[in-house]
Amino acid sequence: MSTQRRRGLQGAGPAKRPTVDKYPARRFPIQHGIQKLEEELNAFNERIAELEDEGHRGHAMNVLKENAIDLARRIDELRSLLVEPAKRGRSP
């Protein structure tokens, strides 16, 4: 399974990431925050995949995975701020 995950991460690796900030923090603070958290999440996922490939198990792996899940949750929370709620009485 780790080899499948590893292949999936290669598509999101550093070669695909922009070298400059996609969203300037001053004009797009939420998008910029999401971008930074996604970069951290990608780093966690890459490290988890590396350790799994090396056969590591145990508490440290669980902590890394929990931190990755927490980052994903924070990204989702920020994304939800960007979604405009539907107005009452109107159908979506």
pLDDT at 89: 59
pLDDT at 8: 47
pLDDT at 91: 58
pLDDT at 70: 96
Task: Report which of residues 22 and 76 the model is more confident about.
Answer: 76
Cα distances from 12 to residues 19, 58, 63, 73, in angstroms, run 13, 26, 22, 19
pLDDT at 42: 96
pLDDT at 20: 52
- Residue spans of the domains in the chain: they are 2-13+29-82
Q: Are 49 and 5 in contact (CB under 8 A)?
A: yes
The secondary structure element, H or E, covering residue 49 is helix 29-53
pLDDT at 86: 59
**Amino acid identity, position 76:** D
Structure token pair of residue 6: 């590893």
pLDDT grade for 83, boundaries at 50, 70 and 90? confident
For 25-82, what is each residue's pLDDT tens digit?
A: 678 888 999 999 999 999 999 999 999 999 988 898 999 999 999 999 999 999 998 8
